[in-house]
Amino acid sequence: MLDELLEARRRKLQAIAALGVDPYGRRFPGVVSNREIRHQAEALSLEPGQTSAGPRLTAAGRIVLLRHMGRLSFLQLRDSHGDLQIGISKRAVPEADWKLLELLDLGDLLGVTGAVGRTKTGEITLWAESLTLLCKCRRPPPEKWHGLQDVDLRYRRRYVDLFANPPVMQTFRRRVAILDAIREYLRELDFLEVETPTLQPIYGGAAARPFTTHHNSLDMELYLRISPELYLKRLLVGGMERVFEISRNFRNEGISPRHNPEFTMLELYQAYGDLSDMMDVTEGIIVRSIDRLGDGLRRPYGDRTLDFTPPFARRTFASLLSEHAGVTLTDGRALRERAASLHLLGRFADAAGRVPDDLAPALLANELFEALVQPGLVQPTFVTEYPAELCPLTRRKPDDPSIALRFELFVAGMELANAYTELNDPDLQRQTLTEQLAGEGDETMRVLDEDFLTALEYGMPPAGGLGIGIDRLVMLLTNAPSIRDVILFPLQRPAAGTEEPPPAPGNIAP
């Protein structure tokens, strides 16, 4: 059936060419968005059945509905701002345009010039005086793209998902609005937006497995960055006192509804600041983003309502661990027994399946936290006072060096933000990185970043640092259940011959 539909469209393509019309269009100036056309029409206060005598307007978009009614036809044009009804009377357009109309299909890109008006039922309509084919759609669009059984096809064919489903387009427009709001807010706080290397000779700034590549001319191994942290801190040394970067980071890890190997991160550093400043900035960024989107600080997420009214709740790591897991940070034996009872020790096993006897209590506590505490952190909550062993780049609490001056922000059971009072003692930094270097596994640094340590010896001001996962923030603020819903082209497994089924007859679903 699909082959027959493709062949029918090919025949129409040939018929259009026979009319002397280029089926792939040309420059089409003067286009006004559908939103602006509707706005102008509403400002005219037209009565039902009335057409404006004012200036002619030009629209362009994809045909998503097409109805022929003898000598009168109606179609819906969809652009990135929404739909607009087009009315076409045989007596109002040139004969060649009417012949072209008879060869149009759903999905074709069309330009229309005419006068705005309202139908007898009151619907805003652009009454066509001329038609211009801008591109023939060779493949029939699906009637209900979201209704396909293979949801992965929506992500693979995002170019169809966007025009077939207006809410998807709206999600990505809102993502842009969130990023604009973040940049605006940070500029108001005197932060400079900078760019740091994506290809790095030494990866660092997070515990993650990197992607590796090779530079042929220099014959050197390089890594896609897992974090811009160490380069941004070099800028603090250089005198850039407030810096931020919205960057693509890459971590060679699993894929899930909350993880994509390529993701967007906001990372910023503020000289002469600390953890409390980062809490203020985090709340400010989220509130500004919500203000830009509208609809208030209480927002739906799945079957829950999230309340982003500041100040967010603040809880210590130890108190939450005790409350939800029934163990303390200092009781190594109890931590191990609790982790073993939940089958959480497997990730520490060697090739023979043996788990070391001397696992650091902090590592066990972190496993328990992720399993038992994190899922219950639904409302925005700053978790503070992490074990220092988990945070090699973080300043220690002055009266208790076993505690790091760090917080993580959790919302709906997801980690959304991570912040530190930064470590700027070069000797202590060398010590902690050396200890990290001695660890095992693909997430461990391979060599010390001597240049970063040299930079610290020149003097880095005391500072607060913050990272926010942009994709997760957009998920939460747009009520998206999967990270793939807010990334235009998420990484997918090979398609293995996946093909969409033939479309059902009818119009594209609104």
Alpha-carbon gap, residue 17 to 210, rounded angstroms:
52
- CATH code (residue 110): 2.40.50.140
Structure tokens given for 164 = 């077939």
If asked whether residues 129 and 170 sit together in one domain, one would say no
Of 258, 265, 182, nearest in space to 226 by CA: 265
Q: What is the DSSP string of 233-274?
A: HHHHHHT--EEEEEEEEE-----BTTB-SEEEEEEEEEET--
Please indicate, yes or no, whether residues 168 and 114 belong to a single structural domain of this protein.
Answer: no
- In this structure, the answer to whether residues 9 and 132 fall within a common structural domain is yes
What does the pLDDT read at residue 149?
A: 43
Calpha distance 445→441 (Å, rounded): 9
Compute the distance between CA of residue 40 and CA of residue 18 in angstroms, rounded to an integer: 37
CA distances (Å), 463 to each of 241, 268, 272, 279, 459, in order? 9, 10, 5, 13, 12
Does residue 333 form part of some domain? Answer: no
Residue 66 lies in a domain: yes
Residue 510: the pLDDT is 57
Look at residue 145 in the predicted model and tell me its pLDDT: 44
106 and 187 assigned to the same domain = no
Ranges of the chain with pLDDT below 70:
143-150, 439-445, 496-510
Q: What is the number of structural domains in the chain?
A: 2
For residue 507, the model assigns a pLDDT of 63
Asked if 94 and 230 sit in the same domain, the reply is no
Cα 454 to Cα 457: distance, rounded to the nearest angstrom: 5
Question: What is the per-residue pLDDT for 447?
Answer: 84
DSSP, res 147: G
| End-to-end C-alpha distance for the chain, whole angstroms | 24
CATH number of the domain residue 416 falls in? 3.30.930.10
Q: 255 lies in which domain range?
A: 164-312+379-485
